Structure 1
C-alpha cells in the first residue's frame, strides 16, 4: 500500500514536466498546431508561460467575428492590438473578418484594417459586413487595388471607391457580394485588371450603381452571378425592379452559375460556348407567381435561353422550370442541339411539361429529374408524346422522388422504359415508405422495355441498392 502511494506521488511530481514537453517543440511545429485553432483560442495560449507569450504571432492568420466579443469596441481593440503585434517579417497573410455593428455610430475601422494588411503583403482577405445600411458602408482603401501579393479576395457589403490604377497580378479568386460601386465602368475595369483571375462570383444589389454588368476577362473559367434586393426593399419592389443587363465576354469560361431571375436579367451579348456547364438557380420569389397571370417578361427570358442554347451541360432549379413552363405556353423553347446532360428540379404539377421540354433537346444523352412538392398529379403520363431524344440518343435516366412522389416517379420510369430505344441505365430513388425496393424492381422488370440492355437500380428510404 505504501509502495503504491509512493509511485503515485512520483507520477504527480513528473506530471508538470510531461505537460510542458510540448513547449520544447520547434516553433514551426507549434505554429502549425496553433493554426488549427480559432484565433481567440490561439491567443489564449499566451498565458501558459513566458515561452508561449508570443508564439501565437507565428501563425500568419487572423479569423475573427465581432459577435464573439462582449461588444464591438472590444472587438476593435483586440484586432488593432493584434495587427500591431505582427512584425513586418511575419505579416498577417490571411485575414478573415465577420463584422456586425451594434449601432450606426460604431467605429469605422474596416478601411484602416484592410489598408494595414494590404500594405503588408496579405494573400487571403475575407471581409464580411453584416446588415450594414448603405449610408454606413465602409470604403476599401486604394492600397487594396495595388496589393500584388493577394491571391483570394472576398468583399461583402463595402463601398468600392474609384481608382485609375489597379494592379492585382496574382489574384485568382474574387467574391464581390452586395457591394456598392462608383459606376458600372469601374466594376468592368476592376475585373479586367486581374490578369490571372479564374474564379469570379458577383452578388448584385439593385442599388449598387451598376445597370449593365460587364464581365470581360480572358482568364475567368468559373463565373457565379446572383442578386439580393437592396436595403429596405420588400418583395413587391423586387418584382417591379428594372431589367438589368449582363454582358459576358470570357472565352475560357467553363462553368456558369446563374442564381438570379433570368426574366429580369437580359444578356446583351454573350460568348457562352458549348463547353460551358450552366447552372440556373433562379430566385426564391419570382414575379410570375403574382396572381397566376401570364408572365410579363417572357420575351426577355426566351432571349436568355437562346444565349445559352449551345451548352452541353445544364442544371435547372424549380423556379427556372416554372419560368420555362410559362414561356412554352406562348411558343416553343429554342433548340438545345448540343445539350447532352440535363438535371432539373420539377414541381409535380409541372411534370406534364417534360415531353415538350425534351423536344427542345434532340440529342440529350443523360437526364436527372428531382421531383419536388408532392401534390395532385395528372394521370395523362401514359399518353405523352415521344420526343426525338428518346428514340435516338437518351442512354441514362435518374429519377429522384420526394416523400409522397413515389407513384409519380414510377410512372415516369415506365414512360422512359417503354419509349427509350437506347437506354443503358435507369435509376429510381425515393425517400418515403410507400414503395418497397423488391416490389419496385419486380414492377419495373414487368414493363415492356424498349431497350433490351438497360441496367436498373432502385434505392428506397434505407438506401439499399437493388440492381439488375
Structure 2
C-alpha cells in the first residue's frame, strides 16, 4: 500500500526526470523525434509543450505509410502536402513513401514530393507506389537517375526507363521490386554506380539476361520471378559477385548461371509453382537444382533452404 511519503517521493522522481528531459539540447530531442516510426507520430509530439511544437520540422527522416487501400486517400495526400509545405528544405537522411494512388488524380503530387526530397539531398529513398486499378508502374523523372546523394534506393512498382544516363556515384545498395526493365538498364546501373555493392531484384521482369560485370557489386539477391510466360529462361553472368541468394517463387523454366567464378557463398531457397499446363514440375525442379549445384561446386558455403529440400535430398543421395 502506498503511503503519502512514497507518493510524494514518486512525484519528485517524475519531476526530476521531466526536468532532465527538458534540459536536453534541441539536437538531441530532434534525434529522438526522428527515430519515431512515422512522420505522423513525430508531428504529434508537438502537443507535449511549446518547445516540442516545431521540433518535427527539423527531423532527418520522413516516413509516410498509407495502408488504407480503399479509403481516406484524399486525407493522406493532403497530409503529406501540408507536411512538406511546413518543413524547410533541410538535409534528409531517409524518405519512405508507401501508398496507393490514382495516377490521374495524384501522380503530380508524388512527383512534387520526390522533387522536394531530392532537393533536400536525401540519402535513403524508399518508394512503394501501388497504382490503384492499373498495372502501370510509376514514371520516375530523369532527375532521380542523376543524383550523387543517394546511398540506398528501394523502388517498388516504378518505371525504370531513364531518358539519359544513370549517375548514382555514391549508391551502395539498390533494391527493385515489381519493376520492368531490359538488359541495358542493369548495365547502365553498373556503369553509373561505381561503388554499388548490393543489388536486390524482387519479382522484376522484362529481361532475359543479367549481365553484371561491375567489380564493385559483391552481393546479389534474386527474390522471385513471375511473368505471363512460364517458359522464360534467365541467364546470369556475374564474374565478380561474392554472395548469391535465389529465393521465393520462380515462374520460369531455367535459371542459367553462366559465370559466377568469384562466388564464395550461395543460398538457394526457392520454389517452382505447379501450373495446369506444366505436367513435369518435379522434373523441372530437379533439373534447375542440378544446374545450380553443378555451377556452384567451387562455392565454399552453400545453403539449401527448406523450399528446395524435397529435391535436394534425393540428389544428395545419388
What's the TM-score, normalizing by structure 2?
0.82
CA–CA distance in 2 between the matches of 1:56 and 1:254? 41
The residue aligned with 2:270 is: 282
Q: Deviations over 1:259-292 (max 9, x none)?
A: 254972332621333x521111112625699556
1:299–1:228 CA distance, 2 compared to 1 (3 A): closer
My pick for the range that moved more, 23-32 or 132-141, is 132-141
Alignment match, 1:199 = 198
Whether the aligned pair in 2 keeps the contact of 1:112 and 1:141 (CA below 8 Å) is: no
The secondary structure found in structure 2 opposite 1:282 is strand
Q: Deviations over 1:400-452 (max 9, x none)?
A: xxxxxxxxxxxxxxxxxxxxxxxxxxxxxxxxxxxxxxxxxxxxxxxxxxxxx
Given that residues 280 and 316 in structure 1 are in contact (C-alpha distance below 8 angstroms), is that contact kept between their aligned partners in structure 2? Answer: yes
Which one scores higher on RCO, CA 8 angstroms, separation ≥ 6? Answer: 2
Instruction: Call closer, same or farther: CA 1:153–1:196 in 2, change over 3 Å.
Output: same
Aligned-pair CA distance for 1:303: 4.0
Partner of 1:224: 221
* 1:66 is aligned to 2:66: yes
Aligned partners of 2:155 and 2:295: how far apart in 1? 29
Q: Could you say what secondary structure the match of 1:114 adopts?
A: helix
TM-score between the two structures when normalised by the length of structure 1? 0.58
Contact 1:124 1:152 in 2 (8 A): yes
SS of corresponding position for 1:51 = coil
The residue that corresponds to 1:76 in the other structure is 77
Q: Which residue of 2 aligns with 1:42?
A: 42
Q: Which runs of 5+ in 2 are unaligned?
A: none
CA distance in 2, matches of 1:143, 1:270: 34
RMSD: 3.5
Higher mean alpha-carbon deviation, 130-139 vs 54-63, is at 130-139
Question: Which residue of the partner structure matches residue 243 of structure 2?
Answer: 255
Aligned to 2:141: 141
Relative to structure 1, the CA distance from residue 246 to residue 51 in structure 2 (aligned partners, 3 Å threshold; closer, same or farther) is same
Counterpart position of 1:93? 93
Q: Contact 2:233/2:252 (CA < 8 Å) preserved in 1?
A: no
Give the one of 285, 291, 294 matched to 1:306.
294
Q: Deviations over 1:65-103 (max 9, x none)?
A: 112797122221222222233323x233211122134x6
Which of 1 and 2 has greater Rg? 1
- 2:216 paired with 1:214: no
* Cα distance in 1, alignment partners of residues 251 and 305 from structure 2: 12
Q: Distance in 1 between matches of 2:289 and 2:316?
A: 18
d(CA) in 2 for partners of 1:215, 1:141: 25
Shift of 1:210: 1.8
- What displacement does 1:168 show? 0.9
Instruction: State the shift of 1:244 in Å.
Output: 2.5
Query: In 2, distance between residues paired with 1:99 and 1:268?
Result: 36
